[in-house]
Amino acid sequence: MKKLFNSAETMVDDMIDGYVSACPQVTRGTLDPRVVIRRQGAKNPDEKVTLLIGNGAGHEPIAMGFVGRGLLDANVVGDVFAAPSADLILDGIREVTGQAGSILLISQHSGDVINGRAATMLAEEEGLNVRPLLMYDDISAAPPERRHDRRGAPGTMFVYKILGAAAEEGLGQDALMRLGEAVRDRTVTLAAAVSPGISPLSGQPMFSLPDDEIFLGMGVHGEPGVGRVKTGPVRDLVAEMVERLLADRPIAEGGRAAVIINGMGGTTQMELWTVWRETEAELRRRGITPLSPMVGSYVTTQEMGGVSISLLEPDDEMLRLWCAPQDSPAFPHIHSEDDQS
Amino acid sequence: MSAEQYFTALHAMAEAEMARLNALDAALGDGDHGTTLLRGLTRAKGAEDGARAKAFMRASGGASGTLFGLVLHEIEQHLEAGAPLAEGLARAEARICDLGQVKPGDKSMVDALSPAVAALQSGDLPAAVAAAEQGRDATVEMTARRGRAQYVEAGGKGHIDPGAVSLTMMLALLAETEGAA
């Protein structure tokens, strides 16, 4: 597989160089070049609670693309598909944590959890006020009674965005933790994979799948999902996905759902708008009003083909914060209901 | 004995033991425990005061790099700032059990660390090393419940846990050098 990099050793740092140079909103931290922080719109961390997250590289634009006013304060970038080490996350915490405290968002995957929580322990030892918030939403990873064992999936972007907006407005650390948990507990995601990504390190496909089959419930690294379905019109696939999502966490007739349609890197925007069309129709057929969708490739695994559907049943405050303005390089403008009317 | 001397000696020991640790790990996991330990210690040896355990975590990487780094962090604090060792290792044990979701009996580094911490409460470092060695040897008969070894045949029963072996090495070296000082 042809890839446009200089070398495996430098690919992550080369990418960060290009990113911070292209985007005036962000810059590198002073403690470690793998920490991306706001250049514009940084507020006094003694007054504003700061939000940060660590993740492996290779899934861009998440999460460094979401550093900016109204969203994240910092992103700690690990090696390709590898969670950053605890000491590196600690540098990120040191970089942004002030008197108002910080929240380390952790998308639930074992390396991220162990290193993220170890980093918060070391930070507390240094007297820093940081709290970890575990995020999980992939319904294929565990049944509803073991929700807390689920993996983090693209629905975690609801948590980033809503907490980012609330923190910008000055909400305190305790209230942000409660809000983040509430958003998490109202979010479900299911993914469907059609083709593998190619690892930039090995040049090899990350899993294999017959031409006429789709994996339901694939994790971002190609971890096995809940089952296989045959290819066909995409409306059938979307109907099954929406059915499973609402069976897991029902939304009553007359209810609302904010929606993320996320492409995994190798699925075209042409396909993603089509998936949104079918998702909207499925929700309306059940008497649920879909609103403020985010449709695009935001959590990717190289050129992996596939899509995930995430649903959040928001309260009014969550919906207001979901649609609030932000100024990060890669998060889209989310239209409010007022914009749409 | 300074932290610098300890990490230099531990690096030399890991260099000598790398192949054996990899072979022990190959029976239960992906066979790189010696290599990742050495990679971490190579960086730690050259790091500045107060930054050695953290350099180890960075270079060693992964979950095991972090968990071993927490033990080395306490040893570093003890050697550099005179922090009480018993308290520090007890804290490391609690953190490892919490983060790694392991407890004694699961066939892990904790099976060497936990008896050593208990022995250190009422005894000296040599007693703690003896307890760690006993705990280490007891992992042979254990069945893994967490970590890579849970996926191998019979949970790795019949094989010693390489994490318990390297953890015991770290404590034995500390006892040796503290005794010599």
Percent of chain A with pLDDT over 70: 96
pLDDT band at A269 (very low <50, low <70, confident <90, very high): very high
Angle between helices B33-45 and B3-26 (to 10 degrees): 170
Task: Determine the average pLDDT of the residues in B73-96.
Answer: 96
Of B54, B55, B66, the CB nearest to A115: B66
Contacts of B59 (CB under 8 A, 6+ apart): B39, B40, B42, B43, B44, B65
Q: Which of B55, B60, B70 sits opposite A118 (nearest CB)?
A: B70
* Whole-number Å distance between alpha carbons of A224 and A232: 21
pLDDT above 60: residue A219: yes
Identify the pLDDT of residue B154.
75
Chain B within 8 Å of A80 (Cβ-Cβ)?
no
Cβ-proximal residues to A64 (8 Å cutoff; 6+ apart), any chain? A16, A19, A26, A36, A75, A77
> Could you confirm whether A109 is annotated as catalytic?
no
Interface of B with A (CB under 8 A): 54-55, 57-58, 60-63, 65-67, 69-70, 73, 95, 98-100
Give SS3 for A324: coil
Residue B106 DSSP one-character state: S
State the complex-level ipTM: 0.82
Angle at B36 between CA A74 and CA A84, to 5 degrees: 10
Across residues A60-66, what is the average pLDDT?
Answer: 97
Q: Residue A118: its chain B contacts at CB < 8 A?
A: 57, 66-67, 69-70, 95, 99
- Rounded CA separation A175/A163 (Å): 10
Q: Which of A78, A91, A86, A84 is nearest to A118 (CA)?
A: A86
Rounded distance, CA B125 to CA B117, Å? 10
Q: What is the pLDDT of residue B148?
A: 59
For residue A148, indicate whether it is catalytic: no
Position A338 confidence tier, pLDDT thresholds 50, 70, 90:
low
- Report the 10 Å Cβ neighbour count for A145: 7
d(CA A243, CA A192): 14
| Predicted local distance difference test score (pLDDT) of residue B63 | 82
Higher pLDDT: A266 or B101? It is A266
- Written as one letter, the residue type at A54 is G
Dihedral sign from CA coordinates of A234, A235, A238, A239? negative
What residues of A are in contact with residue B73 (Cβ under 8 Å)? 122
> Which pLDDT score, from 0 to 100, does residue B89 have?
97
pLDDT in tens, B23-63: 998 888 778 899 999 999 999 999 999 999 999 998 987 78
Instruction: From A183, A148, A150, A147, select the one nearest A164 (Cα to Cα).
Output: A183
Tokens of A39: 């250049």
pLDDT at B150: 65
What is the residue-averaged pLDDT of chain B? 91
The pLDDT, as a whole number, for residue B155 is 78
Over residues B106-111, the mean pLDDT reads 94
What is the torsion angle, in degrees rounded to the nearest 10, for the CA atoms of residue A82, residue A83, residue A89 and residue A95? 70
Give the rounded distance of the alpha carbon of A2 from its chain centre: 27
Shortest Cα–Cα distance, A69 to chain B (Å) = 30
pLDDT at site B28:
84
Interface test with B, best of A31, A76, A115 (most B CBs within 10 A): A115
Confidence of residue A132 (pLDDT cuts 50, 70, 90): very high
Which of A200, A337, A148 has the alpha carbon at shortest distance from A258?
A337
What is the predicted pLDDT for the residue at B178? 81
What was the pLDDT predicted at A227?
81
pLDDT of amino acid B26:
87
Cβ–Cβ below 8 Å for A118 and B62: no
The string of DSSP codes covering A269-289 is HHHHHHHHHHHHHHHHHTT-E
Q: Do A85 and B61 touch (CB under 8 A)?
A: yes
Residue A340 clears pLDDT 60, i.e. is over it: no
DSSP-derived secondary structure for A85-114: PHHHHHHHHHHH--TT-EEEEEES-HHHHH
Residues 6+ apart with CB under 8 A from A230: A212, A213, A214
Which pLDDT score is estimated for B180? 63
Average pLDDT over residues B161-179: 93
Describe the crossing of helices B62-81 and B52-60 by its angle, rounded to 10 degrees. Answer: 170
Mark A110-136 as b/e (b = at least 16 C-beta within 10 Å): ebbbbbbbbbbbbbeeeebbbbbbbbb
A132 to each of A100, A120, A159, B8, how far by Cα in Å?
15, 7, 13, 35
Answer whether residue A327 shows pLDDT above 90: yes
Contacts of B65 in chain A (CB under 8 A): 85
Q: Is the CB of B66 less than 8 angstroms away from the CB of A114?
A: yes
Q: What class, spelled out in words, does domain B3-180 have in CATH?
A: mainly alpha
